[in-house]
Amino acid sequence: MTTVLAAGDHFVRADRLAAAVREACGPDGADLDVVELTLPWPDVPFGRVAEVDEASDAEDEMITHLAGAQACVTQMGPVTARVLEACPDLRFVGVGRGGPVNVNLEAATSHGVQVTRAPGRNAVATAEHTVAMMLAAARRIPQVHADLLAGTWRGDFYRYDTAGPEIAGSTVGLVGVGEIGERVASRLEGFGARVLVHDPYLPEGHPRAAGAVDLDELLGAADFLSLHARLTADNARMIGARELSLLPQGAVLVNCARAGLLDHDALCDALESGHLHAAALDVFPEEPPAADSRLLRAPRLVMTPHLAGASRQTADNACRIVAADLAAHLRGEQPEHLVNPEVLR
């Protein structure tokens, strides 16, 4: 009998993880003992736990429920060196996220534990949210909604000099064209936008590689700028005061990727000066922002609390992907989304 811990939460639910595991394993699923654990995220924010990031503070619960387990599927469960040391039977951890940030990958590898991830699970949700943020910021939808509730009819926004731009006919610059960026591009092209991309990691032969431009060229042409790059040591704060100054007067900036890509003081300066028509953020350098954050006072800034990927389909995709990888592992095959293949050597 193989024991699997389905360490879910209130988004990627334990019962749905368990059901996905049984379905993916088919008739063999009847021989699984699937133990369910519900972690408190998002009701309790995630954070750094021991040496791993973005996890629920639940090492003790994980150790207790992993006793005798050979596999774990989770989104927020902390798989630290302490957890791995306490759970010698563990051989597989499937993480229902784009990257296994809640796992000590080095320790897992040294313990012979395969680790997988769930790339693209939230690509559609985040792409749709990005386009919604563009429209909301450009047309001031949250602001005029709040004004109406307060009894103010903003007819002045029908003036030529205050009206917002359309996406149709505009140039949209995308920094990063992975799973999410590509979906944003296709949706905006459906609106009638011209899409420019900058992505130094595009492989040869990628459909957009031939038309990719350098960052300064993209910035100089972008009526809308949307960030979709993964955060690395090389691109931290890649959009700062100089880069924002290259955008055309009245441009709109959207970031639903990683907060570290953007200099937020420079963003506030560009909004306060009027150089940017508007901006929209789903990610922040501190979550939630501190009460004295300039972002909470910046004009024409639309904000959502890191919700771009929050769709039911995202949660179900995470369950399906990690369950399929677990089924492959149990069959003795290499999981499709294995991040430490050296375990197999």
Active site members:
258, 287, 306
Q: List, as one string, the DSSP characters of 116-139.
A: E--TTTTHHHHHHHHHHHHHHHHT
CA distance 86 to 74: 18
Amino acid identity, position 97: R
> How many secondary structure helices (H) and strands (E) does the chain include?
11, 13
d(CA 245, CA 248): 8
Instruction: State the Cα–Cα distance between residues 344 and 325, nearest whole angstrom.
Output: 15
Query: d(Cα 78, Cα 174) in Å, to the nearest integer?
Result: 33
E-only strand ranges, 57-208: 71-74, 92-95, 114-116, 171-175, 194-198
| Closest C-alpha among 179, 223, 180, 219 to residue 198 | 219
Q: Which of 39, 80, 82 is nearest to 61 (CA)?
A: 39
